[in-house]
Structure 1
Amino acid sequence: MDTTPLRDAYRALLDAAATVADSGDPSPVPPTGEWNADRILAHIAIVGAGAVTAVSCVATGAIATYDNRLAHDPWTLDRVFTLAGGNTGIRERIRIQGEALCALSGPTLSEAELDTPMPTVLVSHDAALVDGPVPLRDLLAGLAAVELPGHTRQLLALLPARAGTEGGA
């Protein structure tokens, strides 16, 4: 599996997280109904850990499942962020998880393993997006094409608007 899109999506997310962290605003206020940067990053760390687990299970022949509901629990998000060591620690955790996912998913998995269907539950804003089998390949592609870019945009939306930057700087 070509992991370039996944690697690029992790890089863009981490660049956005660093930009927000370096913006001078220690805790940018999110738009109504959205998470702050801490919770976005904790969510990604939990999602990444679940994906590493799923890939590892498939690689060992164990029954693999994927369920992102825990990655939406406010208490768990805050705890993971704190235990990781705050912003710097959670970004490092996400970086390492991205590297691990790319290393484990790249040339080490066969086509049959990548096509392994897993019972999957994906929720967003308290609504089920997926509740059924998803091939591992599609889970990884979804991380690269939807999940990580969506949270990259969410992080960048936390930056203060800069006067005069519309149309190029």
Structure 2
Amino acid sequence: MDTTALRSAYKKFLDVATEPGLGDAGDGGWNADQVLAHVLSVDAAAAAVALGVVSGARPTFDNRICLDHWNLDRIIAEHSGRAGLITHVRHQAAVLCDIADQLSEQAAAVLVPSFLMSGDMLVLDQPLALADLVNGLAEKHVPGHTRQLADLRP
């Protein structure tokens, strides 16, 4: 797979994440640390799915744990502040991209049963090619959270 777009999306995301003064969402949404924890969780889940496909397993992708407030709080607590979260997101994104770079066309085409939520809204409940899952991170997921972080600027 070509991960140029995904790597570019992460660079923009991390550039915004490192800006000083990111505050809380005015609408009661996630703060910057929660956004970072969510992206970290999604990246780890996507990498696990990709490795599962390569190993011959039949993994599923379900992002509900990546939205769970208890899980996000746990991830945040495991890091030494925002800088620690940013460093971990940077490393996890590199791991995911490195795994995706090595996927064969056959592995990238494997259909992965996928269940995606956004808040309380069901976005997808059907098999998705692994390549589409990874490319969706580049095209929608990471840019969407980049905008979310940008909206937290003072």
SS of residue matched to 1:158 = coil
Q: TM-score, normalised by structure 1?
A: 0.88
TM-score of the superposition, structure 2-length normalised?
0.96
Q: Residue in 1 aligned with 2:96?
A: 101
Identify the residue that residue 144 of structure 1 maps to in structure 2: 138
SS at match of 1:62: coil
User: How far is the alpha carbon of 1:101 from its aligned partner?
Assistant: 1.2
% identity of equivalent residues:
42
Shift of 1:33: 3.8
Aligned to 1:58: 53
* Structure 2 match to 1:164: none
SS at match of 2:18: helix
1:86 Cα offset (Å): 2.3
Task: Check conservation: 2:44, 2:96, Cα contact below 8 A.
Answer: no
1:34: Cα distance to partner? 1.7
1:81 aligns with 2:90: no
CA–CA separation in structure 2 for the residues paired with 1:58 and 1:64: 7
Structure 2 counterpart of 1:128, one-letter code: L
Distance, in Å, in 2 between the alignment partners of 1:152 and 1:63 is: 31
Shift of 1:149: 0.2
Q: Does 1:135 align with 2:101?
A: no
**Distance in 2 separating the partners of 1:71 and 1:12:** 21
Q: Note the 1:11-30 alignment, pairs <5 A.
A: 11-19=11-19, 22-23=20-21, 28-30=23-25
Is 2:66 aligned against 1:47?
Answer: no
Shift of 1:84: 2.6
- Residues 27-47 of structure 1: CA deviation (Å, up to 9, x unaligned): x12021421111111100100
Task: Report the CA distance between 1:85 and its aligned residue.
Answer: 2.5
Q: After the TM superposition, which segments of 4 or more aligned residues of structure 1 sit over 6 Å from their partners? A: none
**How many residues end up aligned between the 2 structures?**
154
Deviation at 1:97, TM superposition (A): 1.1
User: What SS does the aligned partner of 1:78 have?
Assistant: helix
List runs of 5+ in structure 2 lacking aligned partners: none
Partner of 2:67: 72
Tell me the SS of whatever aligns to 1:118. Answer: strand
CA distance in 2: counterparts of 1:4 and 1:130, whole angstroms: 25
Q: Over alpha carbons, which structure has the higher Rg?
A: 1
Equivalent residue number for residue 29 of structure 2: 34
Instruction: Determine the C-alpha separation between the residues in 2 that align with 1:126 and 1:91.
Output: 26
Instruction: Name the amino acid aligned to 1:122.
Output: L
Q: Give me the CA root mean square deviation.
A: 1.1
CA distance in 1: counterparts of 2:86 and 2:58, whole angstroms: 29
Alignment counterpart, residue 157 of structure 1, candidates 142, 151, 154:
151
